[in-house]
Structure 1
Amino acid sequence: MEEQQQVEVEVEVPSYFVCPISLQIMRDPVTLPTGITYDRDGIERWLLTAGTCPLTKQPVPPDCDPTPNHTLRRLIQSWCALHADHGVDLVPTPKPPADRARVADLVSRLRGATSSAALLDALRELRDVAAESERNRKLLAAVPGAVDVLAAVVVASCRDAKAACDEALEIVCSLELSERCLARLVERNEELVDALVATLQRTNTTSRAHAALLLEAVTAVMPSNRLVSLPEEVFGEAVQLLRDRVSSPATRAALHVLVGTTSWGRNRVKAVDAGAVAVLVDMLLDGPVERRGCELALAALDRMCGCAEGRAALVSHGAGVAVVGRKVLRVSEVASEKAVRVLRSVARHAATAAVVQEMAQTGAVEKLCVVAQSEQCGERTRERARETLRLHARAWRNSPCLQPHLQALYPSC
C-alpha cells in the first residue's frame, strides 16, 4: 500500500498504460476488435459473463481471441524500469497464453498415449494449462471429445494407474461443465460411477474430494432409470465422506448426492442401511454446521423419513428428534421447513407413546406451536405444524412440558 501511494505521489502513470477495467498498470495489454486495449486478465474475466466491450458496449464474438499489444507492453516495461527507483514494480514479459491448437494437441496426446509415462506427461501438462486461467479451462471444455477422453482415463486408471486417475479428476473438476455436457458424459461412460466409487474408497483425501464433486455433478443430471439402480456403494461412500469430513466442498457434495438420489424409495433404504440417518443427526448435533450444510442435512433427513426404515433410524437415535426440533426457527426458513416436515413424518407414522412423550420433552412441540403462528415461516410450513399438533393434541395440549403461554397458541382440533 505504501509503495502504491509513493507511485501516485512521485510519478504520474500515463493514462494509456492503465486498464479501463482494473484501473491498474497493464501487465499484458490486449486489444479487442473494437480497438480498445485492456489488461488480458481483466478483459477475459469480463468477456466470460458480459460478451461486450466494456467501453464501447459493442458485442464481442464468443470465440474472440484478443490481440496482444506488444508495442504498448514494451513501452510499459520501459517506463516501469525507468521509474523503478520510485517504487514502480517491473512488468515481466507474460507467458504466451494457450491457444486452441495447443489444447487440442494435448487432448490428442491423451488419446494416443501408449505408455503410462506418456499419459501422465500429457495429463500434467494439460492440468497446468487448465490451472493458468478461466480462459484456458473454457478452451479445454470446448475441444470436441476432451471431457470424454478425461473421463475414459478416470475409468481406465481408477484402480491400477491411480496417479493418472487423480490428474484427470482434478482437470475435470476444474471445468465448469454444462448440464448438457454432463448428461452426455453420463450417457457415454456407463462405468464412470463405479470408477468414482473406487476412488472414494481410497485414502487420498484430495482425490476423494474431487471424486465427490464429480459424483454430485453426474448424479444431478442422471436420468431416473439410472438413479434408481445406483449401487449401494454410492450411498456407503457418501456417508463415509460425511463421517470423515474430508473437506467442506466434499461434505456438501456428499449431502447433495444424498438429497438428489433419495427421491426414490429403494435409494432411501440404501442410504438408511448405509447409516446415513445417524451420521446426519451426529453432524447436526456436533456443530457448528454452516447454514447451507444444515439445510441439506435436514433435506436429506426429510427424504429418508419418507420410508419406515428412515423414521425408525431417526427415533432410535438418542438425539434424533431433539436435534431436528432444535433447528426449527434457528437456522433459516428452509431449514425450519425441512425440520417441520421431518417432525410431521415422525408424528404421523412413527408416533409410539414414547416418541410422543419425547417430542414434548425435547421442546419439539413448543417449536411447532411457535411455527404455527410465526410469520417467519411460509403458510405451508405453518399448516404442517398445525397439522402435526392436531395429530396428538390429547397428549400435548395440556402436557406439563408445554409452557402455559404456548398452550393458548395450540391449534383447535
Structure 2
Amino acid sequence: MAEVEIPSYFLCPISLQMMRDPVTLPTGITYDRESIERWVFSGEHRSCPVTKQQLPPSFDLTPNHTLRRLIQAWCIANASSGVDRIPTPRPPIDDTQISKLLEDASSSHTQLSICLRKLGEAVSESEANRRCVKASPAVEFLVSIIAADVADGVCDEAVGILHSLKIGDERLIRIVESSEGGFIDSMFMILQRSSFLTRAPAICLLSSIVAAVSPARLLCVEAVHIQEVISVLSDRISNQATKSALRVLIGLSPWGRNRVKAVKAGGVPALIKLLLEEADRRICELGLVALDKLCGCADGRAELVCHAAGIAVVSDKVLTVSAAASATAVKVLRKVCVMSATPAVLQEMLQSGAVAKLCLLLQVDCRAREKEMATEILRLHSMVWRKSNCSPVFLALKSLHR
C-alpha cells in the first residue's frame, strides 16, 4: 500500500484517507461519510469544510456511486501491490428496521441479545445510524431493560448503547422523572456489579444523569453506591471513566448527607492518591474540586489533615497545574486554616511548603480572589509562621503588617 500513490480525488478532504463511502454535500464537495457526519452532526460545525459555505438546517448526504466504483476498480487493479478492496457500504438503518429489531427482541431472551448486538453495531457504524436510533423508541426500550435489571450481561450492553447515543439533558430528565428516580438506582446497581471494562460506559452515563437531574433526586444516594463511584477512581479504568467518576462525586457531594457518606467511604484518601499519581491537567482540576467539596464537612477536613500527604499534595498543585487548580487548592487550604487549624496542622503547612506557596502567590500575576484568600490565610496565622527560619516566608509575612 505504501508503494502505490493514491489518486488525490480518492482522498477525503477531512481525514486525507481513501474514502470508503463517498457522499456529496449540497455544495458539491465529496467526503467520506464517516468524516463528514462527524464534522457536521457533532454540533460544532454547520458549514462545508472546503467551501466554508453554510449548510441548510436540513439536507441529505448523496452517495457518490460513480466515485465509489472508481475507487473499487482502482483497488482491484492494484491488488497485487497489497491494496485491499473497500467493502460495499451498507445503507443507513431506518425506522422500519429499528421497529423490526425491537419487535423481535420481545420474543425471547436469545432474540433480545441478538437485537442489542445488531443495535450496537448499527450505532457504532455511522453518525447517521446513531441519530436515527437516538430519535426512535429504542431509547425507551434500552431504559426499560436497565430498569428491569435483566441479567446475563444484557443490562451492560444496553448501558453501553445508551451511553454511545449521547442522550440530551432534557430527555434524560424525562427518563428519570418517569421512573420516579428508579432509573438512577438501577444505574448504581449496574455499576456495582458490572465487570471491570463495562463499568466505564456505566459511570459515563451516570455522570450525564447526575449533571442533568434536579438535586431532589440526589438527596438520598446510598453509601454503598457512593463507595462504587470512589472505587472507579481507584481502579483507574480510563481517563474518561476517572473524569466521569469525579463529576459524579462532585455532583452528589453538595446534597443531603452524601458528602459525609463519601468521606466515610474513603473518598479523601482516594482523591489524595489520585492527585499524587495523576498528571492529566483536567483530572487534577476535577480531583481538587471534589476534595474541596468533601472538605466542606469536618470529617473531610480531618481526613485531609491526618493524611501524611494531604496538605503537601494540595499545596503542590498551587501554581503548577493551571489557574483553576491553583484557585481550588487555595480554597481547600483556606477551609483547613479557618476551621481545622491546630498547631500540628500549621506546622505541617510550613514544612510541606504550603505557606511558601501562598507567599509566592502574592508575588505572581493571578486573579484577585486567590490573592485575597492567600492574604487572609497568611494574616490569620502570621504570628505562628513568622517564627519560621525561612527568610522569604518571614519577609512576606512581615510585609502583610505594614
Report the CA distance between 1:311 and its aligned residue.
Answer: 1.1
1:75-224 to 2 correspondences below 5 Å:
75-82=70-77, 84=79, 90-110=85-105, 113-143=106-136, 145-157=137-149, 161-189=151-179, 190-202=181-193, 204-224=195-215
Q: Provide the residue aligned with 1:399 in structure 2.
A: 388
Question: 1:212·1:250 contact (CA, 8 Å) conserved in 2?
Answer: yes
Q: Give the distance between the partners of 1:222 and 1:119, measured in 2 at CA.
A: 29
Report the CA distance between 1:196 and its aligned residue.
Answer: 1.8
Q: Give the distance between the partners of 1:392 and 1:259, measured in 2 at CA.
A: 30
The 1:66–1:38 alpha-carbon spacing in structure 2 relative to 1, beyond 3 Å, is same
The 1:166–1:395 alpha-carbon spacing in structure 2 relative to 1, beyond 3 Å, is same
Asked whether 1:74 is paired with 2:69, we answer yes
Q: Provide the residue aligned with 2:243 in structure 1.
A: 252
Q: Give the distance between the partners of 1:183 and 1:241, measured in 2 at CA.
A: 24
Stretches of structure 2 lacking an aligned partner (at least 5 in a row): none
Question: 2:246·2:286 contact (CA, 8 Å) conserved in 1?
Answer: yes
1:10-409 to 2 correspondences below 5 Å:
13=7, 15=9, 19=12, 21-22=14-15, 25-33=18-26, 36-48=29-41, 49=43, 50-54=45-49, 55=51, 57=53, 59-62=55-58, 64-82=59-77, 84=79, 90-110=85-105, 113-143=106-136, 145-157=137-149, 161-189=151-179, 190-202=181-193, 204-264=195-255, 266-285=257-276, 287-375=277-365, 377-400=366-389, 403-409=390-396
The 1:165–1:82 alpha-carbon spacing in structure 2 relative to 1, beyond 3 Å, is same
Q: Which amino acid aligns with 1:256?
A: R
CA offsets per residue over residues 20-51 of structure 1, 9 Å max, x none?
A: 55565543233445555443233323331434
Identify which range, 30-39 or 346-355, moves more after superposition.
Answer: 30-39
Question: 2:156·2:194 contact (CA, 8 Å) conserved in 1?
Answer: no
Alignment size in residue pairs: 396
Identify which range, 200-209 or 115-124, moves more after superposition.
Answer: 200-209
Report the CA distance between 1:320 and its aligned residue.
Answer: 1.4
Question: 2:253·2:259 contact (CA, 8 Å) conserved in 1?
Answer: yes
**Please, what TM-score do these two structures have when normalized by structure 1?**
0.87
Q: Give the distance between the partners of 1:187 and 1:335, measured in 2 at CA.
A: 35
The 1:60–1:316 alpha-carbon spacing in structure 2 relative to 1, beyond 3 Å, is same
Question: 1:7·1:87 contact (CA, 8 Å) conserved in 2?
Answer: no
Report the CA distance between 1:94 and its aligned residue.
Answer: 2.2
Q: Give the distance between the partners of 1:203 and 1:368, measured in 2 at CA.
A: 44
Report the CA distance between 1:219 and its aligned residue.
Answer: 0.5
Q: Give the distance between the partners of 1:107 and 1:266, measured in 2 at CA.
A: 41
Q: Give the distance between the partners of 1:398 and 1:146, measured in 2 at CA.
A: 68
SS at match of 1:373: coil
> Percent identity over the alignment?
47
Q: Give the distance between the partners of 2:258 and 2:156, measured in 1 at CA.
A: 28
Asked whether 1:2 is paired with 2:26, we answer no
Question: 1:328·1:340 contact (CA, 8 Å) conserved in 2?
Answer: yes
Question: 1:199·1:207 contact (CA, 8 Å) conserved in 2?
Answer: no
The 1:303–1:19 alpha-carbon spacing in structure 2 relative to 1, beyond 3 Å, is closer
The 1:26–1:275 alpha-carbon spacing in structure 2 relative to 1, beyond 3 Å, is closer
Question: 2:278·2:284 contact (CA, 8 Å) conserved in 1?
Answer: no
Identify which range, 322-331 or 90-99, moves more after superposition.
Answer: 90-99
The 1:60–1:106 alpha-carbon spacing in structure 2 relative to 1, beyond 3 Å, is farther
CA RMSD across the alignment? 2.5
